[in-house]
Amino acid sequence: MIQITPQMRILVALKAVDFRNGIDGLARVCKQVLRADPFSGCLVVFRNRRGTAIKVLTYDGQGFWLAHKRLSSGRFRFWPSSETEVCKALEAYELQMLLVGANPQTANAAPAWRRVSPAP
């Protein structure tokens, strides 16, 4: 089971990948294209060209997990983009919103870190 925690490092591949790739092919994309270590334990999220499916790859210390979600109808309306970057880091709540097809940039969530003032 893949548990998404706030402390996890989550990377989203901004460009679509060939979904005929399995674990080995996606791990190769992580290393060569995203310049990320697939054995680091981070979650790496990929989408297909049509925007109808997402794959999530992670390593748990013993082996790889590969989760695949395909929408029964429609497409993922939002996907992060950038002119210069090949991947983007997301927070856990942003990934959860992305997985349900929502736009994480419009989420009204608490900041990831805030200073706690000492009691007087």
The CA distance from 96 to 23, in Å, is: 22
Cα-Cα-Cα-Cα dihedral sign, residues 16, 21, 27, 29: negative
The pLDDT score that the predictor gives to residue 46 is 95
Q: List, for residues 29-44, the tens digit of each pLDDT value.
A: 999 999 999 999 899 9
The pLDDT score that the predictor gives to residue 74 is 87
The pLDDT score that the predictor gives to residue 109 is 65
Tell me the three state secondary structure of residue 46.
Answer: strand
The CA distance from 43 to 95, in Å, is: 10
The pLDDT score that the predictor gives to residue 110 is 63
The pLDDT score that the predictor gives to residue 9 is 92
Nearby residues of 17 by Cβ (< 8 Å), 6 or more positions away: 26, 29, 46, 47, 48, 55
- Residue 75: both structure tokens together: 């497409």
Sequential pLDDT tens for the chain (120 residues): 677 888 889 999 999 999 999 999 999 999 999 999 999 989 999 999 999 999 999 999 899 999 999 988 888 888 888 878 899 898 888 888 888 877 777 766 666 666 677 766
Residue 89: how many CB atoms within 10 A of its CB? 12
